[in-house]
Amino acid sequence: MHLPSAASLLLAALSLPLASAGKDHGPGHGKKQGLNTLAKKAGLKYFGSATDSPGQRERAGLEASYAKYDEIMWKSDEFGQTTPTNGQKWLFVEPAPGIFNYTEGEIVASKAKKHGKHLRCHALVWHSQLAPWVETTEWTKETLRAAIVRHITKVAGHWKGRCYAWDVVNEALNEDGTWRESVFYKVLGEEYITLAFKTAAKVDPHAKLYYNDYNLELPGAKVEGAKRIVKMLQKQRVKIDGMGLQAHLVAEWGSPADIDRHIEVMRGFGSLGVEVALTELDVRLQTPYNTTNLALQKRSYKNIVGACVQVKECIGVTIWDFYDPFSWVPYVFPGEGAPLLWFEDFTTHPAYDGVVEALTNKTRRTPSKPAKGPRSSRLLRD
């Protein structure tokens, strides 16, 4: 999703109301078995969290306060995977034509390797957080094709062999499932998607290649548009391995029946022969938060994670950072926030317990084709 820069984002987030120190919001990171351990026991590959580089926190003046953050992120068993929130995006890695800088993304990637975390890499072609020159250049088809190939070749090539998956194309669809009028689409049409996946497959053949987008968690026109992308690439025999459901949810919009609809969507993608992952999960609240919307948030987390556990093609969950002050939400949605699992004082949301319940529900993972008889999803409902 849209993230301006980590430094400005974190400064903006400091205005969020603080949770009461010492208040018991859940089991926290000291629990005997963390979320990643529970996820693997439930059949997932990982439970992870996106993170930004320490350098970005230091520039925001926050370097002194977050040893606790690093302890949870890197040294606990809460997370077995990470995604660099910003550092691999075009704005950071190719700030000028043909000039590449891997510093920010490399900090997170190196920490992931050091601490044995899976690395999901994000994102090669996206209309947002582009370097300004990409949008101001007068492109021809030939010059834009060359720029896309150069960018993917250099960036995916730099991290070759280190990324479990790449989000190759990000957010190419409007809400009605039609093509977003990005700079890439305006010049090349849907060809840019095929070109991006072809190039990524050539550069890093062992990485899983994903299409990634938001509002794909419930059935609708955008889901059908995402299926069209999968089918388009498959028809042309272009490698696509996964569908990334960003899962930026709103607690107040959820319903108890959402788990069945989440399962329907995940099965639908799985039936096309691709794996599924929740790639940027958060559930934002109207702030100041209260007991009522925290309970709704818990249900939303429980439903979406519980759906993933029950669909065999859903391989993992990534929350979009885990610590509320580092969230993008208050910057983009004034009056909303507290979307993650850890409050400002490092106590956990009730939603943490909802995730634990989903991961330990012990329901059987189900295939893409609906089974006969009652759905096991009913067991996960509040």
Question: Residue 29: phi, psi to the nearest 5?
Answer: -75, -10
Q: How many CB atoms neighbour CB 215 within 10 A? A: 18
Coarse DSSP helix, strand, coil percentages of the chain, rounded to the nearest 5 percent: 40, 15, 40
Candidates 78, 94, 171, 336; catalytic one? 171
User: In terms of Cα–Cα distance, which of 154, 84, 75 is closest to 119?
Assistant: 84
Position 61, amino acid: G
Does residue 378 sit in helix, strand or coil?
Answer: helix
Check the CA dihedral 215-217-223-228 and report its sign.
Answer: positive
Does residue 332 sit in helix, strand or coil?
Answer: helix
DSSP state string for 267-298 = HHHHTTT-EEEEEEEEEEEESS--HHHHHHHH
Does residue 155 sit in helix, strand or coil?
Answer: helix
Both tokens assigned to 251: 């607690």
C-alpha distance from residue 149 to each of 79, 98, 112, 124, 193 (Å): 33, 11, 27, 10, 11
Residue 135: active-site member: no
Half-sphere exposure of 344 (CA within 13 A, CB side): 15
Residue 357: active-site member: no
Position 342, amino acid: W
Q: CA-CA distance, 373 to 2, in Å (whole number)?
A: 42
Half-sphere exposure of 275 (CA within 13 A, CB side): 20
Strands 248-250 and 314-319: unpaired
Question: What residue has token string 């730099």?
Answer: 158
Candidates 94, 104, 275, 280; catalytic one? 280
- As annotated, the active-site residues are 171, 280
